[in-house]
Amino acid sequence: MPTPEARAKRSRALVEQLKRSDIFRDYAKAFRETTGLPFNLRAIEAFDLPHHGDPKENPFCALMAGTNQSCAACLSLQRKVEQQAGMEPKTLKCFAGLCDSAVPVRVGENLVAFLQTGQVLLHRPNTREFKKLTRELINLGVTTDLKRLEEAYFQTRVLERKQYEAMLRLLTVFSQHLSVLSNQLMVTAAPVESPMVSRAKLFITEHQNEEVSLKQVAAAVNTSAFYFCKMFKQATGLTFTDYLARTRIEKVKNLLLNPHKRISEVAYETGFQSLSQFNRVFRRVTGQSPTVWRAKLPKAG
C-alpha cells in the first residue's frame, strides 16, 4: 500500500495533468464567469490557500491572506474541510462566517483530489457582525487597515443557500467527469519506460479479452513473474491486476455507449469470467455499478 507521502505526490502530479486538460480549463472559466466565485482543483495534503490569487478571490479573503494569524486560521479551516470531504461534498464556515466547500474527486475507492469553491456568505452581512469580527481579529493580533477590511467584507458575494447548493451539485457532476479522466490518465500514463514494460502493455491490450495471467505476461516478455511484477508496478504505479482491470473497464465504457448491448454481453466480451467479478471490478474502478454508470449517460436525441 502506498505511503501517505507517495499518495500526495501522485495526487499532485495528477492534478497538474488534469489542470492542463481542455475540459478542466473550459469548466473553470465557465464556472468563474457564471457564478463569480473562485474555483480550484487541489491535490490531497496540499498546504496552501486554495483561492489565493484566483481571479475571483474574495477581496476580504485576499486581505486576510496577508496576515500570518488569519492565514493560519484559513489553513486550519482548509484542513478541516478536506478531512471531512473524503467521501462527499462538505461545507464549513470560517471565523468570519464565510463558507468554503470541497468536493472529492475519487477514482474507485481512492481519493485523488478536491474541487473547491467558496469565500461566500449565505446571508447579508451587517455592521454588528463586522464589529464582532473586528474584536476577534484584534484578539488574534491582526494589524491591518480596518476601513479597507470593512469595505472588502461588505463586497463579499452573497448567495441563497439553495443557489449555493446547486453550484455544489454542478461541482459534483464535474468531479465525476474528472474521475473518468483521471482513470484514463492512470491507464495511459507512459513515463520513460523499459521495452519490457512497453511490450507487456501491448500484450495486455492484445489479450485483454482473454483470461490472461501475470505468469503469461511475464513469459511473453521473457522474465520471471516476480521481477516483472516489481518492475511493472514501479513503472506504472499499478499492479498488473489493477492495470488489466482499468484497461478492460475503459473498453467496457466504450461498449456501454451502445444502448443495444446488454451489460452481461459487455462483461464477457471484455474478458471477465463472471458477472459478479465484472460488477465488483467496475465498482472498484469507477465507484459505481455499470447500471448506474450507463443510466447517467446522455440520452440520444
Confidence of residue 298 (pLDDT cuts 50, 70, 90): low
Per-residue pLDDT at 58: 92
18 and 111, same domain (yes or no): yes
Are residues 210 and 180 located together in one domain of the fold? Answer: no
**Pair (95, 228) in one structural domain:** no
Residue 86 lies in a domain: yes
Select the more confidently predicted residue: 258 or 115: 115
- Same domain, residue pair 128 and 74: yes
Specify whether 233 is located in the same domain as 181: no
Domain boundary residue among 161, 185, 209? Answer: 185
| Euclidean distance between the first and the last CA atom of the chain, given in angstroms as a whole number | 45
Q: Same structural domain for residues 124 and 64? A: yes
- Residue that finishes a domain, picked among 148, 166, 185: 185
A 10 A CB-CB count for 299 gives 6
Q: What is the pLDDT of residues 237-273, one digit of tens each?
A: 889 999 999 999 988 988 888 888 899 999 988 988 8
Range scoring the smallest mean pLDDT among 30-39, 113-122, 151-160, 194-203 = 194-203
Range of the domain at 252: 192-295
Which whole-number Å values give the CA distances from 251 to 175, 182, 268, in the listed order?
Answer: 21, 15, 12
CATH number, domain with residue 208: 1.10.10.60
Residue 257 belongs to some domain of the structure: yes
Same domain, 133 and 282: no
Looking at the 3D structure of the chain, how many domains does it have? 2
pLDDT above 80 for 140 = no
Query: 133, 160, 185 — which closes off a domain?
Result: 185
Q: Is residue 72 part of a domain?
A: yes
Q: Is residue 52 part of a domain?
A: yes
Does 261 lie in the same domain as 130?
no
Assigned domain for 221 exists: yes
Q: Is the pTM of this model over 0.85?
A: no
Residues 198 and 171 in one domain: no
Domain presence at residue 300? no
What does the pLDDT read at residue 301? Answer: 43
Q: What pLDDT digit, counting tens, does each position of 7-33 carry? A: 788 888 889 999 999 999 999 999 999
Same domain, 209 and 270: yes
Same domain for 180 and 251? no
Q: Assess if residue 89 is contained within a domain.
A: yes
Domain presence at residue 225: yes
